[in-house]
């Protein structure tokens, strides 16, 4: 028995999570485990009614679960950023989900925009650092000379910045990125361990030739940690170069480890070369705590309630959840069932089919149970 939390969220989120739960329950039936779901009412509707994003009670209750199954966040009735920062990013930071895991895999039957590339050419995974870099929230805008003090209190560091700014400019904006040795080490160690279980190749992304302090530290840590993995081939790519190689030679890559901001950018490119956001799952992982799994696409509010949304990314994210909690055979069976549905044409309109959201969930669940 696994106790799993679910947050449908906004827009199409509740619909696609429902199908994901259906498929995971089918996998449990076939592979002899049960999932006990606990649903949390977190999202735009509650925020608009009560002004509440996340409460301490929410966080305390969620911390009792090994994993959260998350749908989508974002609502046109709410100013952009409020829900995303106040819920999604808050969950990632509160639970210290320092790994963002993004499989970039072209399934059989899916068309990639890269000419001549086949599924065997596009099968790698991006490990994105998920709590540091330019996403730590240190920044401001101002118009007059003033003294700025910024205090960060986080599990990994306690840093105080004091800035005296004087300028003739009408307005100044700044954003500060932070990478700690500890933060870089733990995501790099995770990546090396993953590479040991795959093809023993690790590619690091940075911009150390220009942003030499922050990404110089990142590169130093990777070089240090590589000494403990002599069987893994290690290489470095600047972020601008890796966007080119993702397009030209995706077959070169196996495990790619990247700081937070660059990972945010290159994983969307990765999603496109694997067939689009409708097939892009992600995991926000704390190996020792509560992790969260979600599709990468948005909440698509204009499709809410229409039953036409593609649930495959959400179902794939559910496969990642099962893999995380140790049900590896069931996780692989789900991805295989997704692939079989694609090959048979049992897909939603965006992929050229005629099925609705629930129809795709039913089809995948049936393949799993009857296999």
Q: What is the CATH number of the domain that holds 365?
A: 3.40.718.10
Sign of CA dihedral 285, 290, 295, 298: negative
Q: Is the pLDDT of residue 94 over 90?
A: yes
Query: pLDDT value at position 138?
Result: 75
Closest CA to 107 of 340, 370, 352, 354: 340
The structure's pTM equals 0.91
Query: pLDDT value at position 142?
Result: 75
Q: Does some domain include residue 260?
A: no
Query: pLDDT value at position 264?
Result: 93
Q: Does some domain include residue 365?
A: yes
Give Cβ neighbours of residue 162 (< 8 Å, ≥ 6 apart).
147, 148, 149, 150
- Number of structural domains in the chain: 1
Chain CA centroid to CA 267, Å: 9
Q: Does some domain include residue 302?
A: yes
Mean pLDDT of the chain: 92
Tens-place pLDDT, residues 176-200: 888 999 999 999 999 999 999 999 9
Chain CA centroid to CA 257, Å: 13
Determine contact, residues 109/346, Cβ cutoff 8 Å.
no
3-class state of residue 141 by DSSP: strand
- 337 or 132, which is more confident: 337
Q: Does some domain include residue 218?
A: no
Determine contact, residues 17/6, Cβ cutoff 8 Å.
yes
Distance in angstroms (rounded) separating the CA atoms of residues 310 and 357: 6
Query: pLDDT value at position 152?
Result: 57
The residues with which 235 forms a beta bridge, in sequence order, are: 203
Q: At what angle do helices 328-344 and 312-324 cross, to 10 degrees?
A: 160
Determine contact, residues 2/36, Cβ cutoff 8 Å.
yes
Distance in angstroms (rounded) separating the CA atoms of residues 308 and 328: 30
Distance in angstroms (rounded) separating the CA atoms of residues 270 and 31: 31
Query: pLDDT value at position 150?
Result: 55
∠ at Cα 371 (110, 328), nearest 5°?
Answer: 75
Give me the DSSP letters along 67-128. Answer: EEEEEE---TTS-TTHHIIIIIIHHHHHTT--EEEEEEEPPTTPPPSSTT--GGG-EEEEEE
User: What are the two backbone dihedrals, phi and then psi, of residue 86, each rounded to the nearest 5 degrees?
Assistant: -75, -20
Distance in angstroms (rounded) separating the CA atoms of residues 109 and 279: 12
Whole domain around residue 52: which residue ranges?
A: 1-106+277-371
3-class state of residue 11 by DSSP: coil
- Mean pLDDT value of segment 340-347: 96
Can you point out the beta strands (E) in the chain? Answer: 2-9, 35-39, 67-72, 99-105, 123-129, 133-142, 146-153, 158-165, 172-178, 201-206, 233-238, 255-258, 281-285, 291-295
The residues with which 176 forms a beta bridge, in sequence order, are: 138
What percent of the chain has pLDDT above 70?
94
Q: Does some domain include residue 172?
A: no
β-bridge pairing 99-105 and 281-285 = antiparallel
Query: pLDDT value at position 269?
Result: 96
Q: Does some domain include residue 262?
A: no
Give me the DSSP letters along 29-60. Answer: HHHT--EEEEE---SHHHHHHH--S--HHHHH
- 175 or 39, which is more confident: 39
Q: Is the pLDDT of residue 95 over 90?
A: yes
Determine contact, residues 124/254, Cβ cutoff 8 Å.
yes
Query: pLDDT value at position 42?
Result: 97
Tens-place pLDDT, residues 259-311: 999 999 999 999 999 999 899 999 999 999 999 999 999 999 999 999 999 99
What percent of the chain has pLDDT above 90?
85
Q: Does some domain include residue 189?
A: no
Query: pLDDT value at position 289?
Result: 95
Tens-place pLDDT, residues 111-167: 999 999 999 999 999 999 998 988 777 777 777 655 555 555 555 566 666 666 666
Q: Does some domain include residue 165?
A: no
Q: Is the pLDDT of residue 354 over 60?
A: yes
296-308 burial string, b = 16+ CB within 10 Å, else e?
A: bbebbbebbeeee
Highest mean pLDDT among 83-92, 194-203, 207-216: 194-203
Tens-place pLDDT, residues 46-75: 999 999 999 999 999 999 999 999 999 999
The residues with which 274 forms a beta bridge, in sequence order, are: none
Q: Is the pLDDT of residue 172 over 90?
A: no
Give Cβ neighbours of residue 48 (< 8 Å, ≥ 6 apart).
75, 77, 78
């Amino acid at each position: 028995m696994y106790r799993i939390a679910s947050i449908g969220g906004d827009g199409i989120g509740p619909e696609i999570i429902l199908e994901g739960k259906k498929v995971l329950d089918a996998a449990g039936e076939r592979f002899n485990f049960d999932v006990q779901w606990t649903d949390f009412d977190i999202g735009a509707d509650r925020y608009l009614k009560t002004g509440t994003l996340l409460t301490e009670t929410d966080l305390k209750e969620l911390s009792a679960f090994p994993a959260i199954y998350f749908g989508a966040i974002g609502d046109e009735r709410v100013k952009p950023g409020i829900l995303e920062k106040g819920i999604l990013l808050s969950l990632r930071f509160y639970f210290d989900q320092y790994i963002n895991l993004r499989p970039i895999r072209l399934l059989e039957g899916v068309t990639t925009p890269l000419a001549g590339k086949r599924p065997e050419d596009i099968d790698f995974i991006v490990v994105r650092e998920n709590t540091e870099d330019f996403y730590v929230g240190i920044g401001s805008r101002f118009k007059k000379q003033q003294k700025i003090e910024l205090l960060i209190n986080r599990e990994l560091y306690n840093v105080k910045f004091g800035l005296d700014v004087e300028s003739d400019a009408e307005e100044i904006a700044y954003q500060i990125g932070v990478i700690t040795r500890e933060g870089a080490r733990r995501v790099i160690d995770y990546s090396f361990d993953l590479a040991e279980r795959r093809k023993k190749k690790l590619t690091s992304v940075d911009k150390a030739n220009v942003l030499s302090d922050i990404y110089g530290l990142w590169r130093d840590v990777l070089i240090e940690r590589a000494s403990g993995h002599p069987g893994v081939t290690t290489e470095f790519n600047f972020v601008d170069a890796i966007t080119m190689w993702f397009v030209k030679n995706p077959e070169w890559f196996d495990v790619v480890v990247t700081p937070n901001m660059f990972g945010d950018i290159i994983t969307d490119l990765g999603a496109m070369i694997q067939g689009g956001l409708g097939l892009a799952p992600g995991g926000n992982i704390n190996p020792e705590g509560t992790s969260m799994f979600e599709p990468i696409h948005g909440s698509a509010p204009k499709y809410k309630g229409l039953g036409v949304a593609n649930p495959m990314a959400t179902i794939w994210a559910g496969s990642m959840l099962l893999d995380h909690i140790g049900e590896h055979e069931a996780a692989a069976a789900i991805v295989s069932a997704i692939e079989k549905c694609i090959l048979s044409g049992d897909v939603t309109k965006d992929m050229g089919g005629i099925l609705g959201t629930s129809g795709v969930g039913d089809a995948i669940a049936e393949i799993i149970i009857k296999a």
